[in-house]
Amino acid sequence: MNRYITMTIAALIAAGGAGAQERLTKYSDIHPSGNETILHAWSWNFPTIAKNMKRIAEAGYSMVQTSPVQQCWNPEGSKGMLFSENEKEGQWYFYYQPTDWKIGNQIVGNKEQMRQMMDSAAKYGVRIIVDVLPNHTAFDIDAVSDDLVKAAGGRDKLYHSQGLNPVQDYNDRLQCTLWGSGALPDVNTENKDFQKYYMQFVNELLDLGVRGFRYDTAKHIGVHSDPVDTASGVKENDFWDVATGQKSVKGVKLNVPYEDLFVYGEVLQDRNVPEKEYEEYFGQTASGYGHMLREMLEKGSAEGLDIKDWRHSASPETLTTWVESHDTYCNAHESAALTDDQIRTAWVFLTARDKGTPLFFSRPAGSTRKNYWGNNRLGEAGNDEYFHPEVSAVNHFRAEMAGQPEDIQTCSDGQVIAVNRGKKGSALINLSTLSRPLDVSTSLPDGTYRDRVYGKEFKVRKGRLTGLLAPRRTYILQR
């Protein structure tokens, strides 16, 4: 389950039967500034985020993504752990099992605590985006609130006609959008009564000051070209038209202009995914590019890899990018064995680039490469990596380089990367466990440049940038 999109609407054309592309200007037709970064404050509660807001802002993040805030599965005896062998003692993924779309749960806190967090964010100029998940409910359908069941018109109307069947083939769009992803009961997101109930929740978040959303399991909610659940009385797949403010439902409509929001969908890349159609509504996750970055880290070299290609059919401006996500860290621990300094080197490379919007996943406090869960407490801040000097330096570099063209150079058998940004700056990355020499072309004027973090000097002469890089270290040079 994953997150992000920036979206700006240039024009909305009111048309009852018009296609999505006629109603909405594509994200790719907009041109985002390319200077923002997101901190994924994974499993932090509202008071913790508020307490650390000043540090977050000083580290150069323009947005914070919270974990899901709606009511969720809360078994008796839960002890607030990120992970436990005895599941009832606590799990991070409980908040991915909604029981109602009302603000507040045992993990992130209550509505008043959220209000206080929003006040702190406003004070420091940080936008809050919320992870939302209208696609499914908790496994235990008896735990779903009576209010939600009643609002949807009854339990049978809350779910798709085959919504309790687990997906067997994720490349089959009928199963992918109308059956239970991960066996989670699949909500009938085309039910007008559910849409109204959900949009009231969204509008309540917007009233608190939320200015963006990550749509979890977005590719499991159908677009117009996908199969329609006629057995449930559905006539069209219009959830995204409603969620993005193009349509109202029973008198309820998105109460903030969509162009003012930052929204992206977890559309994990695979076969038969209508990425271009999703692009008409929101930005998408660049999961394939993240996989390539982790391959690069494991090799300790970019040699043989096309590190410029975003590996996505959507325009790169629309993508939310990451080195790792909470899913790659937690689910199969795909990325959890990578060291913090490896993650840091790839973050500097990714964030120094001029496209996409990078998201930094905050690993658990106290985590090691043998103990992935660290202190193992829900609600606490992650480890110190999110404000490491190299991470902070490249976050600020990204903002200051907005509009500058990128030029990516490699040397030392692909172990050293330079991301040049016009004539204004360069980010240098050593992927190797050994010191490596740098000798690449650059547009920086001749002279001596001192790195922002360590004060190390590099020289430019006749268009060549040279120096020596310490093992798994990054450097930021600016005019």
Q: Using CA atoms, how far apart are residues 243 and 11, in angstroms rounded to an integer? A: 16
CA 227 to chain centre: 27
Q: Whole-structure pTM over 0.75, yes or no?
A: yes
CATH number of 20-403: 3.20.20.80
For the chain, which residues score pLDDT lower than 50?
Answer: 1-25, 28, 30-31
Residues noted as catalytic: 216, 266
Q: Using CA atoms, how far apart are residues 31 and 34, in angstroms rounded to an integer? A: 8
Please list the residue range(s) of the chain that carry CATH number 3.20.20.80.
20-403
CB atoms within 10 A of CB 198: 25
* 410 neighbors 416 (Cβ within 8 angstroms): yes
Please list the residue range(s) of the chain that carry CATH number 2.60.40.1180.
410-478
Query: What pLDDT is recorded for position 10?
Result: 32
CA distances to 98, 106, 167, 226, 241 from 175, rounded to whole Å, are: 21, 32, 6, 10, 21
Query: What pLDDT is recorded for position 2?
Result: 34
Judging by beta carbons within 10 Å of its beta carbon (0-12, 13-18, 19+), is residue 214 exposed, middle or buried? buried
Query: What pLDDT is recorded for position 32?
Result: 57
Query: What pLDDT is recorded for position 29?
Result: 52
410-478 under CATH 3.40.1190.20, yes or no: no
